[in-house]
Amino acid sequence: EAQVTQNPRYLITVTGKKLTVTCSQNMNHEYMSWYRQDPGLGLRQIYYSMNVEVTDKGDVPEGYKVSRKEKRNFPLILESPSPNQTSLYFCASSPQALNTEAFFGQGTRLTVV
């Protein structure tokens, strides 16, 4: 089954404790991205990757890092989480960057206390 898998689905952590949210897709897609969804703000792009070893900032990259060492994986790293990073996070992949649909993971609800 074609899918985008995120882990964990739910996470509660404390301020400053580094964490990684994993994302994996099995569709051999080149393009992957991370979004966060906040009440009243819709989905906003954090980072994107056009292929292995190619990543770039989206609209709200502050406080996040990503890596793309393999085509299928695109982890999101929070080196020092803060309460304003409490949000619902979605990973997405698509076969190409433009004019195509994106497939989303089920989401990771992160709470930073």
Query: Which one of residues 31, 66, 74, 110 is an interface residue with other proteins (CB under 8 A)?
Result: 31
Query: Which one of residues 1, 62, 69, 99 is an interface residue with other proteins (CB under 8 A)?
Result: 99
Query: Which one of residues 7, 52, 58, 67 is an interface residue with other proteins (CB under 8 A)?
Result: 58
Residue closest to 93 by CA, chosen among 105, 83, 103: 103
Task: Work out whether 101 is an interface residue with other proteins (CB under 8 A).
Answer: yes
55's enclosing H/E stretch is: strand 54-57
List Cβ<8 Å contacts ≥24 apart for 48-57.
48/97, 49/74, 50/97
Q: Do 110 and 87 touch, CB atoms closer than 8 A?
A: yes
Task: Work out whether 13 is an interface residue with other proteins (CB under 8 A).
Answer: no
The interface mask with other proteins, positions 37-56, x = CB under 8 A, is: ---xxxxxx--x-x-----x
21's enclosing H/E stretch is: strand 19-25
Chain mean position to CA 1:
21
CB of 75 to other proteins, least distance (A): 17
Query: Which one of residues 23, 24, 29, 33 is an interface residue with other proteins (CB under 8 A)?
Result: 33
The footprint of other proteins (CB under 8 A) covers: 4, 31, 33, 35, 40-45, 48, 50, 56, 58-59, 90, 92, 97-99, 101-107
